[in-house]
Structure 1
Amino acid sequence: MASYDYIIIGAGSAGCVLAERLSASGRHSVLVLEAGSHDRSPWVRLPLGYGKTFFHPKLNWRYHSEADPGLGGRSDYWPRGKVVGGSSSINALVWVRGLPNDFDDWAEAGATGWDWELARKTYEAMETRVHADGRREGSGALHVQDVSDQIHPVNRHFFAGAAEAGLLRTDDCNGAKPEGATTYRITTRNGLRHSAARAYLAPALKRPNVTLRTGVTVDRIGFEGRRATHVHLRGKAGPETLRAGREIILSAGAVTSPRLLQLSGIGPADLLRRHGIDVLADVPHVGGNLQDHLGLNYYFRATEPTLNDALRPAWGKAMAAIRYALTRRGPLALSVNQCGGLFRSRPELNAPDQQIYFNPVSYTTTPSGTRNVVNPDPFPGFIIGYQPSRPTSRGRIDISSADPDAAPHIRPNSLATEEDRAAVIAGGLLCRRIAETPALAGLIDRAVEPDLRQLDGDAILEDFRRRCGSVYHPVGTCRMGADPARSVVDPRLRLHGFGGLRVVDASIFPNITSGNTNAPTMMAAHHAAELILEAA
């Protein structure tokens, strides 16, 4: 039986960081197992290419939720990365650290030590912050780019409208003053996506002590008594068992990490018995505490050219491609989410409760759900979108059978609390306030129905239920905490009651952070590596 010091299950945002950090000394052998393929697709490397990876069957798991009562019985689409780099290889590139209160809340919830001071220091160690004028700050592995010199001119109306609405402006939502209208920082380097795979795993693979295997499916984790010692997997050569001399690290993401624990006999006992799985430990919280951001877009025809005019016609695509090839700049080098920010819907709140996106492009005429940003509407258009930042509803992700290849049951339990419904209304009214400012009124030719400016609170909530969707930020399904009765892993990310196994990915979040979740996932992995090396 082949053996490695560390076996990392999943080459996603967390697994890539772990592989680099755990192998850096050269003392430990590290194996990374990935079910998906390599990240060589040009659509992965091209920043705006995520419009093509959104439904790509070879790069995306393309999950769907169960019918959700809170959304009128609708099923929602849940894309997740099926590729080296995980969802950092197919996401919209926006880098948002999260707010200080997010991480202080983690510590208060039982994740001892995981406060904002820890998170801030870890981010600073990870990042090379590249300013619009080319100046660099920090020396971390991941490049975080300020692209304010490249965004579309129509974004100026958003900044003017936010100011007229009495909202703050900030140079950087990851800086000392994170609240306010801003140009989003994105994870690019020299005009190419700088995913976790490119920033961390690629350098690690140059070391002789790191091995990556793609196209392999882990069926379950094997135990000797109360210690995880080996993994059972399938690849092109058939079934195989590999042994971990030190630890197995489960980094398969908020959807698959709880499923693998359940397939291995750790989870709600009734669920496991129902599927014929021997119960190693009855842990009801495995798969529970599911949180996600829900978002909604409002679409408008514009009175001046937007990115639609540049990318819709064939000649426009050709010009953008030529510019990108020659300079690595322009719309193909950017995220569609160019501007936005974290805002308080009411000034008396202690922290921002809404995240807003302003996109200088619209794609309303494409078939529902395809999100083909590379082929936008044939008229000038733009989007104002939002997501309530800290939802309180909790759902579950569970296995649907003992077959590791079977799709999971994803039950988001959306809008189950009065707090969440109130936050939806507050966010919609905030967007309406911005849309009604003179700056935006001058940009709006007309709304694509429904017209936000005509909606009251009840209509905003009804429309949100009917049209909203996941913003693809699932977290929390292997929650971290000090109390085994309320969590799955301890603050050192060890599975309660077991040795040799940790969970390190977005599933360990005690609470969802206020913005995009790729940054805190990678931060958590970076710190987790320190904890693992301390134990070694």
Structure 2
Amino acid sequence: MKTEKSLASSTQYFDYVIVGSGAAGAILANRLSEDGSTVCLLEAGPPDNSLFLHIPAGFIKAVFNPKYAWQFSSEPTENTNGRRIPIPQGRTLGGSTSINGLVFNRGQRSDYDAWANLGNPGWAYSDVLPYFKSLEKRTGGDDYYRGSTGELPISDIDWIHPLCEAFMEGAVEAGIPRNPDYNGMDQAGVGYFQRTIDRGWRMSTASTFLKPIRSRSNLHIKTYAQASRILFEGRKAVGVAYCHPQHPSRSMAVMAGKEVIIACGAINTPKLLQLSGVGPTGLLQALAIPIVHALPGVGENLSDHYSVRVVARVKNIETMNELVKGLKLGGQLYNWLRKKPSVMALSPSLVHYFWKSRPELTAADLQGVFSPASYKEGYVGMLDDFPGMTAGVWQHRPASRGYVHINSTDHFQDPVVQPNYLDHPDDQLTLIRGIRLARRLLRSKPLEPYFESETLPGGPCESDDELLDFARRYGVSSYHVNGTARMGPASDKFAVVDNQLRVHGIQNLRVVDSSVMPSIPSANTCAATMMIGNKAADLIRHG
């Protein structure tokens, strides 16, 4: 594997050009280069050399660092109290798998059956399960559902805190059963998250799918290579133009003899397609971009999980807030260096609860998280100065939809990102119910010895209107954006790719990332995006 930081001096030719090295792109590069095909992988950001990208707790230092993460944000609306909501996305080798919360969560069987029922044969749960399993290096669990021979280690937590145990005990008393494997037969229940952590280190797709194959001479990785447009001959994709961010006027090109594959995420993928003349006619005409192919669905159907955190002050016990300061942090670092349980090797959320907002539902429509830690104003990044604990919640399948639209032909300018959080009344009501559940769980009897007071929302906040106002003022993105190049049959005028992930109306061009999801899965989207990359490799090689 040849990693290039410097500018290329001339046009280069490959069988495949992949734009984006994240959850799907890195896996594609691995699989497509196995048989001798020449593959060029373009990554706009730098190599993943920072230690903060490899220590799990380092996500706090990486996720808001523009060197390693695109600092996108939503457009303000009344449903976010006029706020722009940060939506950072990975900008380094491994993409968002190098900066995310490390949770491995596939979602429910019905998520993928729904994809198939929307006119996408081959994407039902029974079809995608083998691709989940072949990724995994997982010890334990039902062999029918879980894989053990893949490249991606999936581990259980080894740092146990009494608050986590008390929270789960309280959830069970509230009727939420313990579930040892939410990625198995059934998702519903409470338990510890499974993480992409191995022996104290983050397992990004760069670490697991790119680093082990660096000796392959047919795989070329170009970092600091920001794609500016897809190159076409008529309606056939033949290559990608790119430049170094520090040398924007020097355009270079890599040509693809077989296919161009766009895998740069649900914000950058529609941006690149639109800049290249593939997208809604009115948008492209307004910017005087020559239309290669009019596809009204490019950039539409944007969806995300909008999460809210309930925070409580804790008494009678030490929380993570104290463990990451002063001498105690030194002790945690010492434990981590000795491969002992340590807060340095934790994901931000330790405990999950998947449950129903209404008892009559047949499946969970809420995802909750719990940590023996709390953050200022409930936003992950800056820990509170007092002992705290947090129960967060979001709606599995929000009905609100938004868009990603470019507003300039400058490929260095961020597009307009509008998820329209809480736009649909059902989303508002479901989230209110979710907040009530989170508050109830924090006040459970097993947590009584530790619960001192609620700090968020706190005070007189009981009615639906008050809770909705709280959600509008403090809710944040879960960074699970998807759907902006959705998969669907040609009869659906807003579909962008077919069930083989080929862009409708274009030859030799595919999209392989979270943007192809027809609907948002009831899960963190990283695992599903990895599966998409894994399955796409077979579609490309054998389809």
Q: Could you tell me the TM-score, scaled by structure 2's length? A: 0.93
Q: Which residue of 2 aligns with 1:64?
A: 73
Q: Distance in 2 between matches of 1:302 and 1:408?
A: 42
2:299 to 283, 287, 302: 287
- 1:86 to 2:95 alignment: yes
Q: Which runs of 4+ in 1 moved over 4 A?
A: none
2:221 to 203, 212, 222: 212
2:520 to 509, 512, 522: 512
- 1:19 to 2:29 alignment: yes
Q: Distance in 2 between matches of 1:454 and 1:477?
A: 36
1:419 to 405, 409, 426: 426
- 1:257 to 2:264 alignment: no
The offset of 1:70, in angstroms, is: 2.3
Higher mean C-alpha deviation, range 270-279 or range 342-351: 342-351
Q: Which residue of 2 aligns with 1:231?
A: 240
- 1:355 to 2:361 alignment: no
Which residues of 2 match residues 22-37 of structure 1 at below 5 A? 22-26=32-36, 28-37=37-46
Q: Distance in 2 between matches of 1:414 and 1:73?
A: 12
The offset of 1:69, in angstroms, is: 3.3
- 1:391 to 2:391 alignment: no
Which residues of 2 match residues 162-177 of structure 1 at below 5 A? 162-177=171-186
Q: Distance in 1 between matches of 2:93 and 2:281?
A: 33
Which residues of 2 match residues 295-374 of structure 1 at below 5 A? 295-308=307-320, 310-327=322-339, 329-364=341-376, 371-372=381-382
Query: Is the CA contact (8 Å cut-off) linking 2:295 and 2:494 kept in structure 1?
Result: no
Gaps of 5+ in 2: 1-10
- 1:251-298 per-position Cα deviation (integer Å, ceiling 9, x unaligned): 010000001000000111111111121111221110000000000111
Q: Distance in 1 between matches of 2:239 and 2:147?
A: 42
- SS in structure 2 at match of 1:110: coil
Q: Distance in 2 between matches of 1:82 and 1:171?
A: 34
- 1:473-521 per-position Cα deviation (integer Å, ceiling 9, x unaligned): 0000000011341300000000001111000000000000111110000
1:119 to 110, 122, 128: 128
Which residues of 2 match residues 454-493 of structure 1 at below 5 A? 454-483=461-490, 484-493=492-501
2:335 partner letter: R
The offset of 1:462, in angstroms, is: 1.7
Q: Distance in 1 between matches of 2:184 and 2:430?
A: 25
- SS in structure 1 at match of 2:134: helix
Q: Which residue of 2 aligns with 1:441?
A: 448
Query: Is the CA contact (8 Å cut-off) linking 1:112 and 1:482 kept in structure 2?
Result: no
Alpha-carbon RMSD? 1.8
The offset of 1:349, in angstroms, is: 0.7
- SS in structure 2 at match of 1:390: coil
The offset of 1:164, in angstroms, is: 1.4
The offset of 1:378, in angstroms, is: 3.0
Aligned length: 525
- 1:313-344 per-position Cα deviation (integer Å, ceiling 9, x unaligned): 30011000111011153111111200022111
- 1:143-191 per-position Cα deviation (integer Å, ceiling 9, x unaligned): 00011x3232221111111011111210011112321001000001121
Q: Which residue of 1 aligns with 2:166?
A: 157
Q: Distance in 2 between matches of 1:228 and 1:137?
A: 36
Q: Distance in 2 between matches of 1:417 and 1:511?
A: 15
2:237 partner letter: A
Q: Distance in 2 between matches of 1:254 and 1:309?
A: 34
The offset of 1:466, in angstroms, is: 1.5
- 1:33-90 per-position Cα deviation (integer Å, ceiling 9, x unaligned): 0000111110000011101112112111111211123223221111111111000000
- 1:274 to 2:274 alignment: no
Query: Is the CA contact (8 Å cut-off) linking 1:54 and 1:370 kept in structure 2?
Result: no
1:24 partner letter: E
Query: Is the CA contact (8 Å cut-off) linking 1:389 and 1:515 kept in structure 2?
Result: yes
Query: Is the CA contact (8 Å cut-off) linking 1:84 and 1:197 kept in structure 2?
Result: yes
The offset of 1:369, in angstroms, is: 5.1
Q: Distance in 2 between matches of 1:313 and 1:529?
A: 45
1:428 partner letter: I
1:264 partner letter: S
1:327 partner letter: K
- 1:121-147 per-position Cα deviation (integer Å, ceiling 9, x unaligned): 211111011359xxx961011000011
Q: Distance in 2 between matches of 1:520 and 1:328?
A: 31
2:194 partner letter: R
Q: Distance in 2 between matches of 1:481 and 1:514?
A: 19
- 1:9 to 2:16 alignment: no
- 1:395-443 per-position Cα deviation (integer Å, ceiling 9, x unaligned): 0001120010111100111112121112112211221332332123332
- 1:53 to 2:62 alignment: yes
Q: Distance in 1 between matches of 2:380 and 2:183?
A: 30
The offset of 1:370, in angstroms, is: 6.6
Residues 153 and 130 of structure 1: is their aligned pair in 2 closer, same or farther, counting only changes over 3 Å?
farther
The offset of 1:119, in angstroms, is: 2.1
- SS in structure 1 at match of 2:194: coil
- SS in structure 2 at match of 1:289: strand
Q: Which residue of 2 aligns with 1:431?
A: 438
1:6 partner letter: Y
Q: Distance in 1 between matches of 2:374 and 2:86?
A: 20
Q: Which residue of 1 aligns with 2:7?
A: none
The offset of 1:310, in angstroms, is: 4.3
Q: Distance in 1 between matches of 2:448 and 2:461?
A: 13
Query: Is the CA contact (8 Å cut-off) linking 2:277 and 2:284 kept in structure 1?
Result: yes
Residues 357 and 370 of structure 1: is their aligned pair in 2 closer, same or farther, counting only changes over 3 Å?
closer
Residues 137 and 221 of structure 1: is their aligned pair in 2 closer, same or farther, counting only changes over 3 Å?
closer
- SS in structure 1 at match of 2:195: coil
